[in-house]
Structure 1
């Protein structure tokens, strides 16, 4: 091992051991000064999540505001994290940060009423067509159902991206008190068999709904939610613009909602 690599490895070890010691101190005595040091250490997570959520949002939504909301989620994660449960803090915190940002966006009611109305109309049209055709409708069929042109439909997708700031687990957890699957994980010493079966059924329904999407929609969902690519990165993979990927993402989310409503009857 060359000297430079040895120094880097040693530095990484020092950081890891230092943060573990800090967590131990905070667990023993949750003082604000220790919490603030943890917040400072994990602050890059907030910037990362805010950047992901901000991708595709209107230009008037300031990423700095998203970061500020995310800090509250990070603080909440630090105060509620239980290392004994065996979860990685980063995974837990990113869910909390994202949830805080989305809650703040929703509380501002920044989506125009007419856009919300058009979103509901489009989703109902998808449900009607899906029930009638017994398959996922094409864009052309949806446009005909809505009595608009294909270009107008794609413009509608662009507007509806305002309503599709949603994590995939939000679709699974629709109607529940918690919007995050991480928040509903049972304690290792108190497993609820019924909750496990319900969760498995939810995941099965979601997987079935995803399988009925078009190939391109499946790719977008997979790359965005499971591979954590940004819309711009997905655009490079598919050879289309970021704006077009945003439309595809919105369409996929709408179709997933329609499929899940059809399956659950809710």
Structure 2
């Protein structure tokens, strides 16, 4: 960890300082991607990679932080693209339908719906529901759609994630509203969903490795991950 990272102000300054590096990496990768791939989504993922680099950097190894951060940021973005398998417009439409179903059932049941309840909602079999989850995989939690309208009105939707001065609204969002919203959303998940998130994002296991730990197939872990992301996105939209 970088010296001084326990100081929140110093941490925020470092995030702001290296935010242009995230944008640069995303811009380069985006050149090889279809137009429908959202740069906003990839910048979010890159910021998470940057924060991970700040937390895990070992100064004793005599490697420049910028070099280490570039590897972590690029790795995070490429992992996201592999996970979403280049989300198509069709996949986004299916994800939107699933997200709406989760929100509708949650309002009605006052809890997260089971897999069977969601499949019944669509009038399909459980296997068809899992197939639908597979087709909607790779949906990101955060996009400009999840931001408070006041931020978008003040800064412009696309500028919100790119501001790098002292009044950076993304930095404020990441450390306050979004942090609290995500905490409450994650607290409402099942033990299985929390475990998948923890193993994937904190312990950095692959989906195949998580499958071995939980004694489930890689495909099933992918479905649980997709379902969890959609639930979180639905909750964030409801609370924005």
Task: Give me the TM-score of the superposition, normalised by structure 1.
Answer: 0.53
More displaced 10-residue stretch of structure 1: 112-121 or 134-143: 112-121
Task: Measure, in 1, the Cα distance between the counterparts of 2:144 and 2:203.
Answer: 19
Match of 1:245 among 217, 221, 229: 221
Superposition deviation, residue 115 in structure 1: 3.0
Match of 1:207 in 2: 183
Cα distance in 2 for residues equivalent to 1:117 and 1:209: 23
CA contact (8 A) 1:206 1:260 kept: yes
Q: 1:193 to 1:245 in 2, by over 3 A?
A: closer
Q: CA deviation at 1:261?
A: 1.1
Partner of 2:72: 94
1:223 to 196, 199, 222: 199
The answer for unaligned runs of 5 or more in structure 1 is: 1-45, 51-72, 78-85
Equivalence map 1:145-164=2 (5 Å): 145-161=121-137, 163-164=138-139
Displacement of 1:114 after TM fit? 3.4
Q: Deviations over 1:79-124 (max 9, x none)?
A: xxxxxxx994324542255447868999xx9544433322211111
Deviations along 1:129-187, whole A, 9 cap, x unmatched? Answer: 112222111111111111111111111111112x43x3x6x46994453797xx7776x
The answer (yes or no) to whether the contact 1:115–1:160 under 8 Å persists in 2 is: yes
How far 1:126 sits from its partner (Å)?
0.7
Note if contact 2:182-2:236 (Cα within 8 Å) is conserved in structure 1.
Answer: yes
Measured on the aligned residues, the alpha-carbon RMSD in Å equals 4.0
Cα distance, 1:179–1:153 mapped onto 2, change above 3 Å:
farther
Contact 1:125-1:142 within 8 A present in 2 as well: yes
Q: Based on CA coordinates, which of the two structures has the bigger radius of gyration? A: 1
Residue 177 of structure 1 pairs with residue 158 of structure 2: yes
Task: Provide the C-alpha distance between the structure 1 equivalents of 2:131 and 2:193, rounded to a whole number of angstroms.
Answer: 17
